[in-house]
Amino acid sequence: MSELALKQQIQNLKKHNARLVRLARDARSKLSAALDGTGLCLWQLDVPSGKLIIYNRRWGSMLGYQPKELNARFEVWKEHLHPDDRERVLDAFYGHLHGKTPYYEALHRMQHKNGTVTWVLDRGRVSEWDDSGQPLKVTGTHIDMTKEKQYEEQLALLANHDPLTGLANRHALIQHFEALKMAGALCVAFIDLDDFKNVNDTFGHRSGDELLMQLSQRLRETCPPGTIVGRLGGDEFVLLLPFMLSDIQVSDAARDCLQVALTPFELNNGTANVGASIGIEQVLPQDDFVNALVRADQAMYQIKHAGKNGAALGATPLTDFFNGA
């Protein structure tokens, strides 16, 4: 082959190589754009150097960083793991790297640049080994799961909390009841507001809702530590008090709850007054939530029939609310 022909062949190879480089760059750019639109982050780790040799822009932007702000290295990724998740995630990663699992997978939190948390579903597996069988490259994906986790938390909140007041709903009260009953002494208090209908009739239902929200906050602040405050619906509230019926904290809680119910409520369109009838019963070994609640409801109706605005511990009315005792 002549020197001229050899030079021509080299020139052609260079052109072909440049074309392949452009095609590869274009393909990577298109793949990155496609992945950015899906929320999927593609990565490949060079194990010996700790460098991320493949990653799309979404990897950094997921944490609030511009492309040049974040050094694409394994150590940087580790630094952004949430402290409460770091040990578990690294155990899973190194477990796969050492051949203990067929792939690496972890749902975990990463720390965003602005201090918030980003939830990530992380998956990967060793994709290349050296001649001695040691892992050289790990390839995988990050999926931003923050919106899904937020939605999950919202569903959990709705499943266990009253949407108006944020208090525990019936479902949550039953769960708390079972747990507290197993832990020790427990009382159930049934609170029914007196004259609440007058508030709705006089000020409107929106103001009635405002009163219920204010009362809910008062009950939270008034009840002793460990008490679960819940709302069954309407103007009916339930307390789960982790004490014996004879405990001074139970009678004090009854007094305090009655007092906060009797304290006038400043609403957007006026001042409203209500009262409360309260019945409290000790939970017996054979009681489930419904049985205990029925007996507390019966104790509460003793107060209703006796003229409202009072409390009964079992069959015993507390008659000293208004004399300052």
Tens of pLDDT, residues 225-276: 999 999 999 999 999 999 999 999 999 999 999 999 999 999 999 999 999 9
CA dihedral of 257, 258, 260, 266, whole degrees rounded to 10 = 140
Model pLDDT, residue 32: 57
Burial grade of 6 (CB within 10 A; 0-12, 13-18, 19 or more): exposed
pLDDT in tens, 274-286: 999 999 999 999 9
Mean pLDDT of the chain: 87
> Under DSSP, is residue 325 helix (H, G, I), strand (E, B) or coil?
coil
pLDDT above 90 (res 318)? no
Fold (topology level) of 39-144: Beta-Lactamase (3.30.450)
Model confidence band, residue 144 (pLDDT cutoffs 50, 70, 90): confident
The CATH code for residues 161-323 is 3.30.70.270
Helix (H, G, I), strand (E, B) or coil at 145: coil
Residues 86/134, Cβ–Cβ less than 8 Å:
no
**Sheet containing 104-111, strands listed edge to edge, beginning at the edge strand earlier in sequence:** 51-55, 40-46, 135-144, 117-129, 104-111
Domain boundaries, the chain: 39-144, 161-323
- Residue range 138-158: mean pLDDT, rounded: 86
**pLDDT for residue 36 is more than 60:** no
pLDDT at 21 over 70: no
172-182 pLDDT, tens digit per residue, is: 999 999 999 99
Task: Report the candidate in 44, 320, 31, 304 with the shortest Cα–Cα distance to residue 192.
Answer: 304
Equal fold, 39-144 vs 161-323: no
CA 4 vs CA 1, 13, 192, 291: distances in Å: 8, 14, 102, 101
Distance between CA atoms of residues 318 and 257, nearest Å: 13
Question: With 80 as the cut, is the pLDDT of residue 317 above it?
Answer: yes
Written as one string, the DSSP assignment of 219-283 is HHHHSPTT-EEEEEETTEEEEEE-S-TTSHHHHHHHHHHHHHHHS-EEETTEEE--EEEEEEEEP
Which residues, in sequence order, are bridge partners of residue 55?
A: 43
Q: How confident is the model at residue 320 (pLDDT cuts 50, 70, 90)?
A: very low
Report the pLDDT averaged over residues 100-127.
Answer: 91
Looking at the annotation, which residues are catalytic? 235
